[in-house]
Amino acid sequence: MTARLSAAEEAVATPTPGPATASPATTGRAASRLRRVVAHPAARIALRILLPVAILVAIVARVGTGPFVHGLLSLDAPTVAAAFALTGIATAAAAWRWRLIAGRLGVGLAWSTAVGMYYRSQFVNTVLPGGVLGDVQRAVDHGRSADQLGAAARAVAVERLLGQAVQVVLAVGVLAVVGMEFVGVLLPILGVALVVAIGGGAAAALASRRVRRALTRELREVREGLGSAAVCVQAVVASVIVCACHLGTFAIAAVAVGADVPPLRMLALGLVVLLAASIPVNLGGWGPREGAAGWAFAMAGFGAAAGVSAATLYGVLAFVCFAPAALIVQSTALIRRRRMRA
């Protein structure tokens, strides 16, 4: 009897096995593996491809393929000619901005060379995922030719960041006046992105002395690149010209697809689309741009289909305008290299 009671007491005292819980070490190993997978180049490339594809699939599910086909069929000679002119002005202004900053950092280049390299980088951005690989190629080529890869890369980074900053400031100012229905969505997104960027940089700087030194060095390079008031003013003016030309191209595309939008409303819609197009998660420019255009046009009362058609034609015009100049530049570079080898 006593033995039976002891066995029963032991059974009661022994805890019943429950669901397995991961130990801190196991959780840490899983988190480390997840970080390695996310940081792997193949994973980043897959994300840059799958996300825009998912956006395009969602757009097709929402509005069908008709708006895309309509945008393609709206391509005509007058539209292409106008887009060619605006694209040429925008590329010339962007190349001038790049040349100014590169010169301040000690890696100057001729304006004609800058224009050719900028055309090629924009063409690469329209055919490869991410929208930044063309700028990486531009920085590498310039750095090798000048034998200063670090300074050339900083010049491209500062030039692109300045262009994006000017575009964001213009967008916030214009939308606050003529695009109030978008402000409630876009301003919180921009605010969160700014807080995350600043907070992440501050946290990394506090955690690592190496990061603090790197940030200090890069900020010094930015000040050096834009330290002159004359250079800063010229670079900002060039950025405004670039943004205005892109807005003009989008307006031409919208008119070509039959969207009847007043000029001020078109300005607001175009800035929303350009903000989305600058997100570095796209498939040759496609994905967020079409999604933002459909959403913005629907919010403004002009229909999602019209926005998707305008964005589609805008993307086609970008490819058509960049391809010939980029091919000419690349062919000229190959011929020059063969002659130098000979």
| Residue 320 domain-assigned (yes or no) | yes
Question: pLDDT band at 268, cuts 50/70/90?
Answer: very high
| Residue 46 domain-assigned (yes or no) | yes
Find all residues with CB under 8 Å of 148, minimum gap 6, and list them.
106, 107
The range of the structural domain enclosing residue 163 comes to 30-341
The answer to whether 117 touches 140, Cβ cutoff 8 Å, is no
Which of 87-91, 218-222, 278-282 is predicted with the least confidence, judged by mean pLDDT?
218-222
Residue 103 and residue 220: Cα distance in Å, rounded? 15
The answer to whether 183 touches 175, Cβ cutoff 8 Å, is yes
Question: pLDDT band at 262, cuts 50/70/90?
Answer: very high
Asked if the model's pLDDT at residue 177 lies above 70, the reply is yes
147: left (phi over 0), alpha (psi -120 to 50) or beta: left
| Residue 200 domain-assigned (yes or no) | yes
Question: pLDDT band at 3, cuts 50/70/90?
Answer: very low
Asked if the model's pLDDT at residue 119 lies above 80, the reply is yes
Three-state DSSP class for residue 282: coil
Higher pLDDT, 83 or 217: 83
| Residue 19 domain-assigned (yes or no) | no
| Residue 18 domain-assigned (yes or no) | no
List the one residue out of 329, 312, 234, 235 whose CA is nearest residue 277. 312
Asked if the model's pLDDT at residue 31 lies above 50, the reply is no
Question: pLDDT band at 9, cuts 50/70/90?
Answer: very low
| Residue 110 domain-assigned (yes or no) | yes
| Residue 13 domain-assigned (yes or no) | no
| Residue 60 domain-assigned (yes or no) | yes
Residue 315 and residue 321: Cα distance in Å, rounded? 10
94, 256, 265, 315 from 253: Cα distances, Å: 22, 5, 15, 9
The answer to whether 134 touches 322, Cβ cutoff 8 Å, is no
List the one residue out of 318, 73, 78, 100 whose CA is nearest residue 225. 100
> What is the mean predicted confidence (pLDDT) over 297-303?
92
Residue 277 and residue 320: Cα distance in Å, rounded? 17
The answer to whether 275 touches 289, Cβ cutoff 8 Å, is no
| Tally of residues, the chain | 342
- Can you give the pLDDT at residue 190? 64
Q: Domain count for the chain, please give it.
A: 1
Amino acid identity of 229?
A
Three-state DSSP class for residue 155: helix
Helix axes 24-39, 41-63, angle to 10 degrees: 80
> What is the mean predicted confidence (pLDDT) over 276-298?
90
